[in-house]
Amino acid sequence: MRSIWEASLVIARRDFWATVKARSFIFFMITPLLVVGFAILTAVVQSSNRDEGPKVAIVTDAETRDALIEARARLVAGTDEREFPRLERVDPAQDVRSQARALIGDDESDLSAVFSGTLDRPVLSGPERIDNAFVGKRMTLIIEEAQRNRVLAGAAPGSQPAAVERDVTAGAAGNLREVRTGVARFGQFIVFFMTLLLATMLLSNLIEEKSNKVIEVLAASVPLDAIFFGKLLAMLGVSLIGIALWGGMAALAAAFSVQLMPAGFELPDISPAIGWPIYVLLLAVYFTTNYMILGSLFLGIGGQATSVREMQNLNMPVTFLQMGFFVLALTVVGGNLGLWQWAAFIIPFSSPMAMIAEAGQSATLWPHLLAIPWQAFWVFLLIRISAAMFRKTVLKSGGEIRIMPRFGRKTQS
Amino acid sequence: MSSAFAIEAKGLFKSFDGKEAVSGIDIAVPTGTIYGILGPNGAGKTTTIRMLLGIIEPDRGARTLLGHERPLEAAREVGYLPEERGLYPSMHCREAIAFMGALRGLPLDVGRKRADILLQQNGLGDYTHKPIKSLSKGMAQTIQLFGTIVHQPKLIVLDEPFSGLDAINQGRLEQMIRDEAASGTTVIFSTHVIHHAERLCERIAIIAGGQVRFEGEVATARDRLRPQVRLRTRAADGPWRAALPAGAALRDGLWQFELPGTGVEPLVKALVDGGAGIEELAIERPGLHDAFVQIAGEAAARQIEEDRRADLEAAA
Ligand SMILES: Nc1ncnc2c1ncn2[C@@H]1O[C@H](COP(=O)(O)OP(=O)(O)O)[C@@H](O)[C@H]1O
Ligand SMILES: [Mg+2]
C-alpha cells in the first residue's frame, strides 16, 4: 500500500500551485496589508486632529486668574496636560454674569464652561451636566488647589516635589501583566485572522473540485483521507508564503521605525512570558493546529454541500462559529481559571487560540506539551470523520455531486 | 488468489436510497483480455465499475482487483476513465497527464516525459502547453485517456469510453485499446453500443436491470443462436415447401428461418428436386445484436438501440 503521506503530497502540490497561480491569491496576499494599512491610517488621522480637551474661560481679575493658572500648572506637572481643562483668559466686561452666558452660548467659542467671581466666591457657568463630569470636577480641583496655595503661601517653602529615595528594580509585575495581556491578545488575533482567510480559500478550492468532477479520479486513485489532508497541507503552504511575506514586511517596517526614533529612545520591553524563541515556535504550531482543526471542519461541512450556493450559505454560520470560538479564547486573557477558561483550553476549536494567549502570559511549558498532541489528535479525528462523511453521503448514496447544471449530455436514469 | 483473473467479483449488491441498482453481479475478467460490460443506460454498469474499483463499497458481495481485496491497494497498477470526465480546467495538457500519473504513484518528471511522447505519437504535440479549458470536449477526453494510461497500468478500466468521441477519436481509441491488450494489459470497458463490444471484446458481460444475463466469450453468446438461413426462390410454391422448417417466415419474397439441425443439404436437395429455382441462399452466423435480443430481451434491446440513437443525436 502506498503511503497516505505520499498521496497527500501529490494532492497538496497541485492545490498549492493552483491557489498561488489563481487571481484570488493576490487578494489573499494584500488583504492583511490593507487591514494594517487602514489601521495605521486611522491612527494617523486620529492623532493629527487629536482632541485637545475641553476649554474653560476665566473671566476674572488678574490675581485670581494667575492663581488659577498657577494651580493648574502644578496639578498638570504631577499628572498630565490632558487631565485638566484648558484655561482661556477673557477680560471681564461690565456685567460678568451675562458676559459669561453670552460666551458659553457662542457657537464659535467652543467653551465648556466659564469661570467668574473670585477665589472666595467662585462662580462656574455652564450646563448642569458638567457637575459630575470631567469639567466640573477638575475645575473644582483647580479652584481648591488655588485656595490652598493662597492659605499656605507664607508657610510652605514653595512647590517642591517630595524627595523620594529610588530603589530601582528590573521591572514590575503590574506593568508586565499589562504588556503580556497585549502580547496574548495580539497572538490570538493573528491566529484567528489568518485562519479565517485560509478557511475561505479552502472552501472555494473544494467548490472547484466538485464542479470539475475531478473528485472521482482522485477517489479512485488515493484514499479520501489523503485528499483531505493534502488539501489542508496545500493551504498551509500558501499561508507560509503569506507569513513569510507579511513577516518580512513587518520586520522591515520595525527596523525602519527604530532607525527613525530619536537617539536614546528605548524600546519598551514587550516580551511574552515564555520568551520570544519559544513563543514564535508556539505561534507557528498553534496557527497550524488551529488552521488544520478548523480547516478539516470546513472540509467536512463543505463536502456535504451539493451546490455552490449551499456552500456559500454554509460559509456564513461557520464564520460566526469561528468568531464564537475566538471570543471564548479571549476569556483566558488576564482572567482567572474558571469554567469558561477551562472550556477554552479544552475545546479543540478554541484550544490553539487559548494556548497561544497562555504562552504570552505564563512561562509554564508543560501545558503546551499536553495541548499540542491533544490538538493534533483532533486534526486526525476530524479529517477521518470528514472523509467518512464525504464517502458516505456524497460518494455512496448521495450519488451525483451536481454543482453546475449538466449541459448537453443526457443524464442516467 | 490466482493471477488468471484481473478482476473477480461475486454476488455484488448495491442499492441507493432503498432502490436496488445492482442485484448480485458475478464477473471474472481473465488477465490480458479485452472485456466488455454491455448494457443499456441505467443497467448498473457504472455502479458495478465503481464497486470493483473501491470508489463505493458494495452492500454485499466480494471482489478482488489484481488480487487485492481492498481495491485502493492496487491503485498504482490500475488506470480508470470515469463516465463523468473531469480535469482541472486551468492545467496544461502535459501537466494534467503527469498529475494523473502522479496520483497513481508515477514520479512527475517521468509523467511529463511520457506525456510528451503520448502527445507526439498521436500528432497532438501542439497541445502540450494548452490549458484543458481551451480544448474541445472530445480532445479533453483524449487527454484524460492519456492520463489514464500514462503510468502503464496492468489493468485499464474505461467507463463508456466511446461516448462523446467523434469517429476519428473513436478509431484512435479502438487502436489504443488493441495496442494495450497486445502488450499484455487487461482492458475492461463498459458500453451501451453493441458493435463496440462486438468489434473489440473477447469476453463480455451483458447486464440489464442490475443483473448479469450473460458472461463469457462473444462467440459463445452468438452460438446460443442457430445460424440464420435466407432463401429466395423463383417459384412461389411447390412441393419443396414441405422441406422448410416450421418456423420459416416469408417477408418480401424472402424466406428466413433457423438452420435446421439436419443441416442445409436435405433442404437444398428438396429445392433442386422440387424445381424451386434458387435465386439467393445464404447461411449467416448471428451477430451479437441478435444474441443480445435473445439474452437480454426485446425491451432491453429496444432501449439499447434508443440509447445509441440518442448518442448520435447528441454528437450531431
Ligand atoms: N449515486 C447514485 N445515487 C442514486 N442512484 C444511483 C446512483 N448511481 C446510480 N444510481 C442508479 O442506479 C442505477 C444504475 O445506474 P448506473 O450504474 O449508472 O447505470 P449505467 O452505468 O449502466 O448507466 C440507475 O437507476 C441509477 O439511477
Ligand atoms: Mg454508466
Q: What is the pLDDT of residues A326-357, one digit of tens each?
A: 999 988 887 677 888 899 999 999 999 999 88
Q: Quick check: is A123 in a domain?
A: yes
Per-residue pLDDT, A262: 65
Handedness of CA A37, A42, A48, A50 (dihedral sign): negative
The total number of residues shown for chain A amounts to 413
Q: Quick check: is A409 in a domain?
A: no
Averaged pLDDT for residues B152-168: 92
Average pLDDT, chain A: 81
- pLDDT higher at A9 or A51: A9
Q: Quick check: is A166 in a domain?
A: no
Do A219 and A140 fall within a single domain? no
Q: Quick check: is A408 in a domain?
A: no
Q: How confident is the model at residue A166 (pLDDT cuts 50, 70, 90)?
A: confident
Among A155, A183, A212, the domain boundary falls at A155
Mutate to test the interface with A, among B55, B81, B85, B144 (most CBs of A within 10 A): B55
Choose among A57, A65, A52: nearest CA to A113. A57
For residue B100, which residues of chain A lie inside 8 Å, CB to CB? 217, 221
Averaged pLDDT for residues A364-379: 93
Q: Is the pTM of this model over 0.80?
A: no
- The count of domains in chain A is 2
Q: Quick check: is A251 in a domain?
A: yes
Do A191 and A77 fall within a single domain? no
Averaged pLDDT for residues B120-126: 91
Euclidean distance between CA atoms B20 and A238, whole angstroms: 45
Is the pLDDT at B69 greater than 50, yes or no?
yes
Closest CA in chain A for residue B101: A221
Per-residue pLDDT, A408: 34
Query: Which residues are within 5 Å of ligand 2 (an ion), measured at CB?
Result: B 45-46, 83
Per-residue pLDDT, A13: 94
Q: Quick check: is A60 in a domain?
A: yes
Residue B312 CB-half CA count within 13 A: 6
Do A295 and A184 fall within a single domain? yes
Do A209 and A342 fall within a single domain? yes
Q: CB of B233 closer than 6 A to ligand 1?
A: no
Q: CB of B163 closer than 6 A to ligand 1?
A: no
- pLDDT higher at B268 or A407: B268
Range of the domain at A107: 55-155
Q: Quick check: is A10 in a domain?
A: yes
Closest CA in chain B for residue A221: B75
A-facing residues of B in 199-258 (CB < 8 A) are none
CB neighbour burial string for B52-83, b if at least 16 within 10 angstroms, e if fewer? bbbbbebeebebbbbebeebbebbbbbbbbbb
Give the position of cell 500519473. Answer: B101
Averaged pLDDT for residues A72-96: 87
* Residue in A7, A220, A410 nearest the CB of B80: A220
Do A187 and A242 fall within a single domain? yes
Q: Which ligand has an atom closest to residue A396 CA?
A: 1
Q: How confident is the model at residue B147 (pLDDT cuts 50, 70, 90)?
A: very high
Q: Quick check: is A402 in a domain?
A: no
Q: What do you get for the CA distance between the two ends of chain B, in Å?
A: 47
Say which residues have a Cβ less than 8 Å from residue B215's Cβ, sequence separation at least 6: B26, B27, B28, B203, B204, B205, B206
Euclidean distance between CA atoms B94 and B229, whole angstroms: 54
Do A377 and A243 fall within a single domain? yes
Do A150 and A179 fall within a single domain? no
Output DSSP code: residue B226: P
* 3-state class (DSSP) for residue B69: coil
ipTM value > 0.85: no
- pLDDT higher at A370 or A400: A370
DSSP secondary structure, A121-177, as one string: SEEEES-GGGTTSHHHHHHHHHHHHHHHHHHHTTTS--SPPPP------S--HHHHH
Q: Please, where are the H alpha helices in A305-409?
A: 308-330, 339-346, 351-361, 366-389
Do A22 and A75 fall within a single domain? no
Q: How confident is the model at residue A403 (pLDDT cuts 50, 70, 90)?
A: very low
Distances, alpha carbon B10 to alpha carbons A371, B24, B35, B56, B59, in Å: 48, 7, 17, 16, 12
Do A149 and A91 fall within a single domain? yes
Look at ligand 1, atom 11, and give the residue with the nearest C-alpha: B21
For B192-250, how does the pLDDT look when each residue is reduced to its tens digit (9 = 90+)?
A: 988 899 899 999 999 998 999 999 998 888 887 888 889 999 888 888 888 888 888 88
Do A147 and A234 fall within a single domain? no
B37 C-alpha to ligand 2 centroid (Å): 10
Do A140 and A182 fall within a single domain? no
Output DSSP code: residue A91: -
Do A298 and A371 fall within a single domain? yes
Ordered by where they begin, the domains of chain B are 5-222 (3.40.50.300), 228-284 (no CATH)
Interface of A with B (CB under 8 A): 1-2, 6-7, 10, 14, 18, 21, 208, 212-223, 395-397, 399, 408-410, 412-413
